[in-house]
């Protein structure tokens, strides 16, 4: 009788992690969870989880991403490193791991259009620096 072991996450988790570290093999980026916006995992792309956190969009491509997505839902993911070599090892077929991490800076939100204040007679005209006449 043979028993298969359950799939295991190949990333670090901890209850109530204050931040998450992403390591793509070239850059380690640590971001606080208080700037977490959302994580998306679509049925069309089951090997990719996309996370919006702080000013970054982080795309994580890997295998059996359900455990990784659950770690984002619980905000318990502490760190994850891209491990492309695991895709070549059959013993990791049932595990959850990331093979590639891509960092994209989110475009800044457009600033609200401000209207100029007209000078009122008898008061000094005040204008923020950088405004043209």
For 17, residues 6+ apart whose C-beta sits below 8 A from its C-beta are 33, 75, 76, 77, 78
| β pairing state of 19-23 and 77-81 | parallel
* Whether the predicted pLDDT of 76 surpasses 50: yes
Q: Tell me the pLDDT tens digit for each residue of 54-65.
A: 999 999 999 999
Name the residue among 15, 72, 65, 82 with its Cα closest to residue 38: 72
25 within a domain of the structure (yes/no): yes
- State the residue range of the domain holding 31: 18-105
pLDDT tens readout for residues 9-53: 999 999 999 999 999 999 999 999 999 999 999 999 999 999 999
Q: Does 126 map to a domain?
A: no
**55 in a domain, yes or no?**
yes
- Residue from 67, 68, 63 nearest 51 by CA: 68
Instruction: Look at the chain and report how many structural domains it folds into.
Output: 1
More confident residue, 31 or 112: 31
């Amino acid at each position: 009788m043979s028993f298969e072991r359950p799939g295991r996450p190949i990333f670090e988790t901890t209850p109530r992690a204050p931040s998450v570290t992403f390591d793509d093999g070239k850059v380690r980026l640590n971001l606080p969870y208080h700037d977490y916006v959302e994580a998306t995992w679509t049925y069309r792309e089951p090997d990719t989880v996309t996370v919006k956190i702080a000013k970054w969009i982080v795309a994580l491509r890997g295998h059996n991403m359900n455990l990784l997505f659950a770690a984002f839902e619980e905000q318990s993911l502490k760190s994850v490193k891209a491990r492309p070599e695991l895709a070549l090892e059959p013993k990791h077929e049932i595990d959850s791991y990331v093979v590639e991490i891509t960092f994209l800076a989110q475009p800044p939100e457009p600033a609200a259009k401000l209207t100029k204040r007209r000078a009122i007679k008898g008061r000094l005209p005040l204008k923020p620096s950088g405004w043209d006449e």
